Amino acid sequence: MRLLGQEDKETLAMALDHSGQRATPQRETVFGVLLDQRDHPTADEVYARTKSRMPTISMATVYNCLETLVSSGLVKQVNIEREPTRYCPNLAPHAHFHCRDTGRVYDVPVPEGMMKDLAKVLPGEYSADSVELVFRGHLAKEKTK
């Protein structure tokens, strides 16, 4: 467990302020949880991890904080097939890989500009502001843990 660094705290404060919201201990802790372990946790998992750092936090607050972070643009929601929503603090354009064996979700870096280029397949009348690319399959040798 590592607390939010000064830099991350700045980023958070800026982004929250920019979207008219306040920095709070709960929001900082939840954000720290996401930055600390980038395995695309669900709200439940975020709750468990946050609770170990801030035992009084509630599930409702975790949902509220996650929503706040998403609306401020610092965190992205990742939805995979009806499963509980996962949360990803990786702001770089990237794809996701969903392992059918373990259910884990991995970030997949993509070449600079590729995500944007994908939108070129769209006919003229469509204008996309987000592009989502998800692979599903298996890992050769599963990362243990």
Per partner kind, with CB cut-offs from 5 to 8 A, the member of a second copy, Mn ion, Zn ion, none near residue 54 is none
Residue from 90, 95, 118, 131 binding Zn ion (CB under 5 A): 90
Buried-state track 23-33, b at ≥16 Cβ within 10 A, e below 16 = beebbbbbbbb
Residues 6+ apart with CB under 8 A from 57: 26, 29, 47, 50, 51
Binding flag, residue 133, a second copy (CB under 8 A): yes
Residue closer to a second copy, measured from CB, 48 or 108 = 108
Which residues have CB under 8 Å from 107's CB, separation 6+?
38, 40, 88, 90, 94, 95, 96, 97
Write phi, then psi, for 102 (nearest 5 degrees).
-105, -15
Task: State CA 85 to chain mean position distance.
Answer: 9
What minimum distance in Å lies between the beta carbon of 65 and a second copy? 18
Choose from Zn ion, Mn ion, a second copy, none: what does 101 bind? Cβ within 5-8 Å by kind.
Answer: Mn ion
Residue at token pair 């509980």:
84
In the complex, minimum distance from the CB of residue 112 to a second copy, in angstroms, rounded to a whole number: 12
The residue from 12, 15, 33, 43 that contacts DNA (CB under 7 A) is 43
Residue whose CB is nearest to Mn ion in the complex, by number: 101
Residues that bind a second copy (CB under 8 A): 77, 79-82, 85, 95, 97, 100, 106, 108-111, 114, 118-119, 121-141
